[in-house]
Amino acid sequence: MTTQPAESVAAPFTGVVAVDGPSGSGKSTVSRRLAAALGARYLDTGAMYRSLTWAVLEAGVDPQDTDCVIKVLGAAELEITTDPAGVTVTVDGRRVDAEIRGPEVTAAVSAVSAVPAVRTELVDRQRAIIGAGGIVVEGRDIGTVVAPDADLKVFLTASAEARAQRRSAEQPSADVAATQADLARRDALDSSRAASPLVQADGAVVLDTTELGIDQAVEKLLGLLSAGSRL
């Protein structure tokens, strides 16, 4: 049995990569693939807000009712795993991986996410999960609020048409024009909210994925990490 020389074995990634951007820009897929390539953990912060939104709707609460949303947050047990090969999301022990991607949650998540107390609590939880690092974190306020000292901050973007087509492809019955209008609505809400709006973080690398495949995007990010001696 032979072993590789110690110097030829890649050290585990111990840093933090923050990936921000609007819906349909490729955040989730690129972040998962990057985490897998690095042998790192992966945190989908959007799934955390979606799981709370599902809990709010399940409780029959109006997403615009701030006080009631906060009560649901205090009562619900939200859990998320960080394996890039398969993330599991549970609310009070019930798996809701599929449910949180439904149209009802998608329509309400921006309102729930805009509640300052919600963002404060979930950001604290996200930082606790990040811990000492070794993780790729994606969302809308990672480089600006959650992990402003990340080793690499990335802002993914894509044309409105490309984003709408990608989202519509996830739901074959969806109308591309309607999807594009809904994405524009969410962009406006996420970018204009008072608490942690969606903006490009200082020092973030902008990566337009309109004409890039997933593998190409991941390779570019791996190159940036390698150039910065982060591996």
Measuring CA to CA, which residue among 17, 14, 19, 3 is closest to residue 206? 19
**Spatial separation of the C-alpha atoms in residues 218 and 224, rounded to whole Å:** 10
For residue 68, pLDDT beyond 70: yes
For residue 84, pLDDT beyond 80: yes
AA letter at 17: V
205 or 5, greater pLDDT: 205
Supply the pTM of this predicted model.
0.83
Mean pLDDT of the chain: 87
213 or 50, greater pLDDT: 50
For residue 9, pLDDT beyond 70: no
6-223: CATH number: 3.40.50.300
38 or 170, greater pLDDT: 38
State residue 10's pLDDT score: 58
Q: Could you tell me the residue ranges of all domains in the chain?
A: 6-223
State residue 227's pLDDT score: 74
Overall average pLDDT of the 215-219 stretch: 93
State residue 7's pLDDT score: 41
For residue 230, pLDDT beyond 60: no
Report residue 125 CA to chain centroid gap.
14
Sign of CA dihedral 189, 88, 200, 146: positive
181 or 47, greater pLDDT: 47
| pLDDT tens readout for residues 124-174 | 999 999 998 999 999 999 999 999 999 999 999 888 777 777 777 766 666
